[in-house]
Amino acid sequence: MIIGLHDAESEHIEGKKFPNFALMKISAYHKARGDSVKWWFPIFSGSYDKIYSSKVFDFTPENPYLPQWAIRGGTGYTDIPINQELPPEIEEVYPD
């Protein structure tokens, strides 16, 4: 399975050096299952089996190329409940 990771802030915060903790847990979980994990690029959207998008800040603009079927999470997505959590099997994983 090919997994795409989208860090919404990395596109808009110049010089961002800190990793997105949730995406790093998702990455480690899928790598342990033998999946291929890559950063998401819109041009390759059709080649991913799953895409996870994380957004921390609500002022970060939406990416218009992110597919509707992408799994979105984080406090920056105002249409998602703020108490949403990662599934337990991912939450317990040590991040990449």
Spatial separation of the C-alpha atoms in residues 27 and 24, rounded to whole Å: 5
The CA–CA distances, whole Å, from 37 to 14, 62, 92 equal 24, 22, 18
Banded pLDDT at 85 (limits 50, 70, 90): confident
Predicted model pTM: 0.91
Domain ranges of the chain: 2-91
Distances in Å between the Cα of 93 and the Cα atoms of 26, 40, 53 are 8, 21, 18
Taking only the tens place, the pLDDT of each residue in 39-79 is: 999 998 889 999 999 999 889 999 999 999 999 999 899 88
Tokens of 27: 């990455």
**Residue 56 has which token pair?**
């921390």
